[in-house]
Structure formats: C-alpha cells, structure tokens
Chains A and B, each alone.
Chain A
Amino acid sequence: MELQAVHQNPSEKTENPYLPHMARIVRIHRMVPDNYLFQLRFVDDNVLQNWEHRPGQFVELSVIGTGEAPISISSAPTRKGILELCIRRAGRVTSALYKLPTNAMVGIRGPYGNGFPVEEMEGNDLLIIAGGLGMAPLRSLLWYALDNREKFGTVTLMYGARNPADMLFREELLSLADVEDFNCLLTVDRDPTGTWKQHVGLLPTLFKKATFDPSRTYAAVVGPPIVYKFVLAELLKLNFRKDRILMSLERRMKCGVGKCGHCSVGYKYTCIHGPVFTYWDAINLPEIV
C-alpha cells in the first residue's frame, strides 16, 4: 500500500469552496415588514480580517439545519468588520433565519459573482437606479461611491418604492438628501400617510429631475422586471451606451461557484458570469429578463 502514499500529494490540497464560515448575527434591523437588515460578524478573526468583496457580489447564507440561500451584500467594502445582508422572507432558509435571535450563528461563504466593474466605472459619472428591493445590492455600490467620492464625477441615486413604508434604508437615505456632491432622488408611487416630503410619482418620472452626460456616465439598474422595462427605455432615449448600463440578476445560485447549474441563464451562469450583466449582455442572452 506504499503506492497509495506516492499518489496522494497533500500539498495540492485546495481550499474547500463549499465550506461556510461561522458568523454571528450582531443586530437585526426590522426595516420593512418581511425585509430585515441582518448585521453579521465572522467568528474567526482570520476570516474577519481577510474578508474582501466588491459591490454587487453575493454570499451563500446557511441556516444550520435548514439549508443555504444566495443573498446579495448590502454593505460596502469600504466599511469593514460587519457584513450587512438585507434579506426578504421568501423561502425556507430565509423563513428559518427570521426565527433566529440576535447572537445566533449562521454560515457564510463567498463572496461570489463578478460584482460591479468599479475600477472601470471610476472617473465617470454614476447613476444608480433602484426599484423596490433593488436597493439591497445597490446600497453597497452607493456607499462605495460616497466613500470614494473623489474617484467619481457626479453621483446620482434614483430610488422608487411603492410607498414610504416599503422603502429600504429609508432613514439613512433621507439623511443623505441634503448632502452636497450627491444627488439623492427618492420617490414613492403613492403616499397614503401624507407625510412624505420627497417626490411622489413612478420611478421614471425622476428622469425629469436630473441631467446626464451619457458619454461619461455608467448607469447601474436593479429592480423588478417592470422597472427594467421603463428605466431601460428612458436610458436608451438619453443615448446611454448599452454596455454602460449595468444590471444585476436574481437567479437560484445554489452552489455559487459555477457548478450546480441552477442559476444558468441562456448558457451563462449568473454566479460566475454575473450577477452583474451589461444591457448588451442581456439582449444577447435568451431568457435574461
């Protein structure tokens, strides 16, 4: 049996990409019903110190005894130490997560996906367009841009929610409304409370409130299909280049590492080739939106 020893080379042992790291739920913010912000901190100091991600990437979240689900990262890479995940109660894993108290442990592996091409976007104007829950992944990009403000030209956010109570990160975004050097445009479809002081109207109506130079602007759009439909039409009307319109897709990224096949769209894997695709990619891939 000596031969076996010869054939195994322990130095070639690769890191197991399927193995989650333990993380503690530090705080839970009940932002809107069925959409909480979970703040997590890795238990292993080594993992905590070495964690790096890009805006637009996602992680696989394990609730022990239930399973795994892909979740986009809401915190910016510029804010280290705490990983923030804005999670909708939608399936088995997220329902189990909602039952966990503060200080409970979960598993996290990642980050996965391409994320936004921030190096390429730097030096340009940035237009972030979020519809509904689309703010969750875009908040990472927003804070990345605000924390690296000198690297971008104008920075504009257009965010639309159905009504004020449905707006993710509402207080945080309202506090940014008066910040210099940042054009924060918030809108709601309707305001049943009568207390909303920002714009009221559908998301595309915000295009009237800002001007853009499409030759030097990247647009990042995330939202439900209806948002893509109307926002893309506006952007194309303004002559945005199709490869400067970035969008993030939601699929069932089960493994996160380009193997299991569940997140395939056309013949690309959302977890490896995406989740951020340009509009040009999108129109060239069947089944994308």
Chain B
Amino acid sequence: MKILKMPKQNLDLFVSVLPAFGEVYAPVKRGKGFAFDKPSLWSDVQMKYTRTILPPKKLMLPPRETTIAFDPVEGFQDQLAMASKPMVLFGVHPYDIYGLNILDRVFAQSKYPDPYYIARRKNTAIIGMDFEPDDKHFAGSMNSDFVDSGFDLFLSDIGDDYLVLVGTSRGDDIVVMSGCLMQTPGEADFAAYKRRSKDRRASYKTKLEMEDLPEIMEMEYHSKAWEDIGNRCLSCGSCSMACPTCYCFDINDEVELGSRKGQRIRSWDSCLFKTHALVAGGENFREERSSRIKFRYYHKQRGFVAEYGRPSCIGCGRCVEVCPAEINIISVIETIRGERDGIASSAPKSV
C-alpha cells in the first residue's frame, strides 16, 4: 500500500480539491452531537469527534428513497440515476468503514446485488480518519478499530502530520490533484504511528468478550434475561436507526392523487417495530417485545457469525448512546454470560 504523510497545516489546501470528486460530507456539530453533513465552512468540520448521531449508512442506504416509478401504461421504471451522484465522505472512523464493509457483504457481495446501494458506494470516495475511544466505544473488542480496505485515503494523526494510506486508485487521483501537499514518510513517522496505535489499543475503557458468545447465546436462548430486557425496551427502534449495520427496510407504494401512477419507496425499518414479523392474515411471529429485542441481538451477534463469520456489531457505541431506556449492549452480554445478576442497573461492569 502506498503510504504518504501530510503536514497538518496542509489540510485546508487538501480539502479544497475534494469537491472535484463529489459533494463533500464531513463531521460537523449537530446539537450536542455530530453528524455527517455538507459543511458550509471547512472550519466547521470536527477533526476530533466522538461519533456521529447517524452512521455513514445514511448516505449509502438513505432513510427514504424512491427505487421505482410505476404507471399503469408504462409499467415499472427504475430510478437508479438518482443514486449515481458522486460524493466524498470525509473523516470516517475505522469502525464505520468496517460497518460499510459489512453492509457490502449483504448489499453488494451477495446473490442479488442491490444496484442502488452499489451505485452510491461506487460513486463515494471515503476518506478515513483515526479516533480516540471514549467510554462507549468498544471497537477494540470487535476487531473493527483498524481497517485495511474500504477507504480511498486514510489519515492517521501522528503529531504534526497525518500519515496517509492510499487505498484505491481514486485515492491516488485525489493525492495527485492536491499537488505537492504530501511527502514521503520516514522511520520516525512510522514509529510515531506505531506508538499511537498501541496507545489507542490500550485506551479502550469498554471491552467485550466475543469469542465464545455464539455458543453461549445458543444456550441462553430461553433465558429469562430476555424478558427483563424486553420489559425495559420501548421498541422505539432508535438502536437500529443509529446502528451502522442495521439495514432492514420497508417497501411501500405511494400513489399520486387521482391516478395509479406513483413511486415505490423504501425506507428504514426496525425489527423492534411490532409489525416487522407480521404476515398477511394477521399472524405475528414476534408479537412480544422481548422476542423482538432478542431477535435483534441474535441476528447481530449470532446469525451474522453463522452467515459471514463475524458478528455485525462493530463497537461504535451508538446504540448505548441513543437508547432512551438505557439498555446497554455490554450489560446485556454480561447478563447473558452470567457475569451479572440482571440488567436493573444498565452501567456495564467493565467501565
């Protein structure tokens, strides 16, 4: 892999070339949190942010999108052109890049590739950036705090400079277009990178034991703990919306007034919503709230291991941050492991 370095003072010049590669999204302040958005000024961009409220999936699988237009005479027409707008996503943390790589498995590297997702993914340059874990990040436990693919460029803070990994040919185009802002790194730069990387690994306050979790979940399927968790859960779906790898969607046809013309809309859905497993005729396979939140945990931590060899959780801590009932994935897993009595107090032991 091509590795360069860029003095921090060159960042402003560097980002000025990005619009040539598409509409630029970067982390900016949004209320008390952060969001990937189009910055009006580059000075609004947050180089030290904890996590964005919504993950980058919102740009690859928009919360609501028109997939198909229909008409009784013309039939069905795909609306793929709308998904082909070039974008640059700047400042993506490694776990979020990992989250997109997981979505790729379902939406791109599967039996029926999703053309809308693929169009956005291909037309989006990803510029990654390292981060300092806070008390909610547990990416270190999920093998998602380092990535070796899924970015065009990746910037790591090594003091006065950024070490720049060039991941794709498009990434190299960005480097070339930015002129002479980059330099060749030396031994001292690599040493600085290694030191920071080691410090970061050691700095996680939250850890989660993952290795034998699939088997333990099999054993604890009928555990009463799920009922307790279900009793706390409000079925609001916030955790799914904020999750970088939750991708369930609903499909609805919206008809224009007074005609049978219209659009097929897909929009984010959640397995926590009561209608998720409802079938025609009224049978609901997950009527109980506890069965729905249990399903979510099994799909992420157990089902994904069976299907793709790893859990789909990437340790970003968003579900912990957004849950209004203070359900904490760390405490849930600790409860299932029998390492705590119940989830009455949501604070995880390991913090």
Q: Is the CB of A261 within 8 A of B249?
A: yes
Residue of B nearest to A15 (CB): B115
Contact call A69/B78, Cβ cutoff below 8 A: no
- Report the interface size for chain B: residues with CB under 8 A from the other chain: 61
The verdict on A91 contacting chain B, using a C-beta distance below 8 Å, is: yes
B281→A266 contact, CB < 8 A = no
CB distance from A57 to the nearest CB of B (A): 13
B302 touches A7 (CB 8 A): no
A7 engages B271 (CB within 8 Å) = no
The interface residues of chain B lying within 8 Å CB-to-CB of A260 are 248-251, 266, 269
Among the listed stretches B8-16, B136-144, B179-187, B291-299, which one makes contact with chain A, having 4 or more residues with CB under 8 Å of it? B291-299
Instruction: Verify B303–A267 contact, CB threshold 8 A.
Output: yes
Given A13-B115, A14-B113, A14-B118, A261:B269 Cβ within 8 A = yes
Determine if A105 is an interface residue (Cβ-Cβ < 8 Å).
yes
B303 in complex: contacting residue of A7, A68, A259, A266, CB < 8 Å = A266
Bits for B119-153, please: 1 = Cβ < 8 Å to A, else 0. Answer: 00011000000000000000000000000000000
B78, A262: Cβ atoms closer than 8 Å: no
Q: How many residues of A contact B (CB 8 A)?
A: 49
Question: Taking the nearest CB of chain B, how far is it from the CB of A134, in angstroms?
Answer: 14
List CB contacts (< 8 Å) of A151-207 with chain B: none
CB distance from B127 to the nearest CB of A (A): 15
Q: Which of B76, B262, B281 has the most CB of A within 10 A?
A: B76
Q: Is A211 an interface residue (CB 8 A)?
A: no
The majority secondary structure among interface residues of chain A is loop
Residue of A nearest to B80 (CB): A16
State whether the Cβ of B72 lies closer than 8 Å to any Cβ in chain A: yes
Does chain B have a CB within 8 A of A251? yes
Query: Are B106 and A250 in touch, CB under 8 angstroms?
Result: no
Given A94-B280, A252-B277, A4 contacting B86 (CB threshold 8 A): yes
Assess whether B248 is in contact with A251, with CB atoms less than 8 Å apart.
no
Does B255 count as interface, using CB distance less than 8 angstroms? yes
Picked from A8, A20, A67, A262, the residue with its CB within 8 Å of the CB of B123 is A8
Binary contact readout B73-87 vs A (1 if CB under 8 angstroms, 0 otherwise): 001101010001010
In the complex the two chains form, what is the Cα distance from A173 to B20 in whole Å? Answer: 67
A258 at the B interface (CB under 8 A): yes
Provide 28 A-B residue pairs closer than 8 Å at the C-beta atoms, listed in order of the A residue.
Answer: A7-B86, A8-B122, A9-B122, A12-B122, A14-B115, A17-B114, A20-B75, A20-B76, A65-B72, A65-B261, A66-B253, A67-B251, A91-B280, A91-B281, A107-B75, A252-B277, A252-B279, A258-B106, A258-B110, A258-B111, A259-B106, A260-B248, A260-B266, A261-B248, A265-B285, A267-B298, A267-B304, A286-B221
Those 8 A-B pairs whose CB atoms lie nearest each other, nearest first = A267-B303, A261-B248, A91-B280, A257-B112, A65-B260, A90-B280, A17-B112, A67-B253
Chain A residues with a Cβ under 8 A of chain B: 1, 3-4, 6-9, 12-20, 22, 62, 64-69, 88, 90-91, 94, 105, 107, 250-252, 254-255, 257-262, 264-268, 272, 286-287
